[in-house]
Amino acid sequence: MPPEAPASRTVYTVGHSHHALDHFLSLLAAANITAVADVRSTPYSRRNPQFNREALKAALAERGIAYVPMEAQLGGRPPDPSLWRFERPDYERIAATPNFCEGLGRIETGAATQRIALMCAERDPLDCHRCLLVGRALKERGTCVLNILGDGALEDQSATEARLLAWAHVASADMFDTPATRLADAYRKRAGWNWGERT
């Protein structure tokens, strides 16, 4: 059973997308973020070099925001081939690893004293493992997860999941199906799985 979260434990997520650096920093400032946990498996971008690790770390430091690399524990493309299936990362397998759970623990501990944003590349959290893998796992462990959208709006993980269910059109398979089962199927579908591949 996951630990019960303190009422104050909240973690944010944000995608750098193709934002100008100033806009991205303004998103962090609006949410009063004090630490960025970089969960990109490869913390570099040829299209958006302003978000390469060294450049971003320096820009954040100028604003008093800590930068924490987390790709080894919370990256969505792990080097271990056993965590892939049919050439795609298997988020459910990743979520069950001790390494990933240790990374979640680091985030939960940090969230007690910092306003942490998990950062990856994709603009929409539904297109990114920061939501489909990390945000999902944190929510299941009792943490409040707020996704910072490109316009600065905050979307609770439950609201993001409502969008996910609407997108997935996951119908009840039988009378014993539960909302949790349908949500899990929607997560799998968004991650690129179909039910036949999971057997």
pLDDT score of 178: 87
Compute the distance between CA of residue 64 and CA of residue 176 in angstroms, rounded to an integer. Answer: 51
pLDDT score of 193: 66
* E strand or H helix at 10: strand 10-15
pLDDT score of 194: 52
Strands 154-156 and 144-148: antiparallel
Taking 50 as the threshold, does the pLDDT of residue 196 lie above it? no
Mean pLDDT over the full length of the chain: 91
Phi, then psi, of 141 in degrees rounded to 5: -90, 0
Higher pLDDT, 95 or 3: 95
Q: Cβ atoms within 10 A of the Cβ of 193, count?
A: 18
Listed as own residue / partner, the contacts of 26-33 with beta carbons closer than 8 Å and 24 or more positions apart are 26/152, 27/148, 27/150, 27/152, 28/63, 28/65, 28/117, 28/148, 29/63, 30/152, 31/115, 31/117, 31/146, 31/148, 31/152, 31/154, 32/115, 33/65, 33/115, 33/116, 33/117
Residue keyed to tokens 């925001």: 65
Compute the distance between CA of residue 106 and CA of residue 74 in angstroms, rounded to an integer. Answer: 10
State pLDDT tens for residues 105-130. 999 999 999 999 999 999 999 999 99
State pLDDT tens for residues 39-81. 999 999 889 999 999 999 999 999 999 999 999 999 999 999 9
State pLDDT tens for residues 90-107. 999 999 999 999 999 999
- What is the reported pTM? 0.90
Domains of the chain: 10-157 (3.40.1010)
pLDDT score of 108: 97
Q: How far is CA 115 from CA 18, 36, 67, 108, in A?
A: 23, 9, 12, 11
